[in-house]
Amino acid sequence: MIRLFLTLALVGLALPATAKTKLKLATLAPKGSIFHTVMMELGETWKTLSDDQVELKLYPGGVAGDDKDVVRKMRLGTMDGGLLTMAGFAAVHEGIHALVLPLFYANDAELEAVIEGLRGDLDQAYADQGFVALTYISGGWVRFFTATPGCTPDEMKAKKLFVFADSPVEKLWRDAGYSPVPLPATEISTALQTGLINALPSTPQATLLMQWNKHVPYVCEAHWAPMVGGILVRKEAWESIDAGLREKLKAAAVAAGNKLREEAKVSESSALAAMVERGMTVVPMDAALRAVWQQSTEARYDKIRGGFTPEAFFDKAKALRDAYRALPPK
């Protein structure tokens, strides 16, 4: 009996231990935010689905740098992925810009129809660059938050407007007569405090969450563009996970993204109301002013197509949007 026990023990020692995979993901979202909470929940779900063999290690609050820093670290292999904004995705491939075109989508339904129609093309574009897009997340609608009132194109041209560093949007704004200031997202708070920027395109949720509203007490009430991001991981890191688990883990990531999308719909108006209660002034945009913005923006779509969004992605997004608009009303 003792000999049998020793033999079994030796066999057990000879068997290779199941490798545990730790995925290191970063995000600008601060600790305690809904984004952080949902990502932590995703980590627990992955742990359960993988029988404790896949661990998600989250680095919140920009401790790993802004989205472009995270992508750079992903390429180096020191970070495995992130919950990223469009800036992070665009650092890999600018196809994501087809989902954030200015004054292009009328509502969430149009945007979601285009996301579904473009998903395969986007997935392939990121796969070709060595990444896996687990999910795409629409996180609310961008407005212009400003330090002083102003909502017309001429008034906005007089302001110092934040844009993501190294984004092609800088040239588009500048060519149209505006004054963009390119910065990493991690420097927005300091730039607002010092006056380096005094106009910020952002969602109400992000503006309240990051407390930028303390420095930009006015908001131009118009849906300029959707804010879209998602979860992006290194293909090499993702494929280190057992193939039989990946679909289940990806489905969990999609569910987490859907939860954040629905939360964004609910929290958009409540975040704006909370900021108004704290002293923010909403500068209304009537139909006439919106028409001015629409006309001036659409006049530059020929520059945006190819200059901001790859032509094929712009064209397919437009076709999908127009096809959705042509459907009978539900």
In Å, what is the CA distance from 193 to each residue of 199, 216, 247?
12, 10, 45
Residue type present at position 166:
D
pLDDT attached to residue 222: 84
Q: Return d(Cα 250, Cα 123) in angstroms, integer.
A: 13
Higher pLDDT among residues 16 and 58, named by residue:
58
Yes or no: say if 210 and 158 are a contact pair by the CB < 8 Å rule.
Answer: no
Arithmetic mean of pLDDT, 134-139? 94
pLDDT attached to residue 178: 95
pLDDT of 304 above 50: yes
Q: Return d(Cα 89, Cα 91) in angstroms, integer.
A: 5
Yes or no: say if 101 and 304 are a contact pair by the CB < 8 Å rule.
Answer: yes
> What is the pairing mode between strands 21-27 and 81-84?
parallel
Q: Return d(Cα 230, Cα 238) in angstroms, integer.
A: 15
Q: Return d(Cα 144, Cα 156) in angstroms, integer.
A: 9
Arithmetic mean of pLDDT, 163-188? 93
pLDDT of 311 above 70: yes
pLDDT of 329 above 90: no
pLDDT of 83 above 80: yes
pLDDT attached to residue 264: 87
In Å, what is the CA distance from 182 to each residue of 8, 139, 187, 196, 325?
64, 22, 10, 10, 35
Digit-coded pLDDT (tens) for 281-303: 999 889 999 999 999 999 999 99
Q: Which helix (H) or strand (E) holds 240?
A: none
List of residues 6+ apart from 13 with CB closer than 8 A = none
Q: pLDDT grade, residue 32 (50/70/90)? A: confident
Arithmetic mean of pLDDT, 14-22? 61
Q: What angle separates helix 108-128 from helix 311-325, to the nearest 10 degrees? A: 150
The percent of residues in the chain predicted with pLDDT above 90, rounded, is: 86
pLDDT, mean over the chain: 92
pLDDT attached to residue 330: 74
Full-model pTM: 0.89
Q: What angle separates helix 243-277 from helix 34-49, to the nearest 10 degrees? A: 160
pLDDT attached to residue 201: 95
In Å, what is the CA distance from 206 to each residue of 17, 142, 260?
44, 10, 13
Q: pLDDT grade, residue 19 (50/70/90)? A: low
Q: Return d(Cα 287, Cα 154) in angstroms, integer.
A: 17
Q: Which CATH number fits domain 20-324: 3.40.50.720, 3.40.190.170, 2.60.120.380, 1.10.287.130?
A: 3.40.190.170
**H-helix segments, 17-151:** 34-49, 67-76, 86-90, 108-128
> What is the pairing mode between strands 131-146 and 199-202?
antiparallel
pLDDT attached to residue 70: 96
> Per mean pLDDT, which range of 2-11, 21-30, 83-92, 133-142 is the poorest?
2-11
Higher pLDDT among residues 13 and 97, named by residue:
97
pLDDT attached to residue 113: 96
- What are the residue ranges spanned by the domains of the chain? 20-324
Using CB atoms within 10 A of its CB, is residue 85 exposed (0-12), middle (13-18) or buried (19+)?
A: buried
> Per mean pLDDT, which range of 7-16, 32-41, 258-267, 278-287 is the poorest?
7-16
Pair of tokens at residue 329:
């009303």
Q: Return d(Cα 83, Cα 190) in angstroms, integer.
A: 23
Count the neighbouring beta carbons within 10 Å of the beta carbon of residue 40.
14
Digit-coded pLDDT (tens) for 270-281: 999 999 999 999
pLDDT attached to residue 231: 98
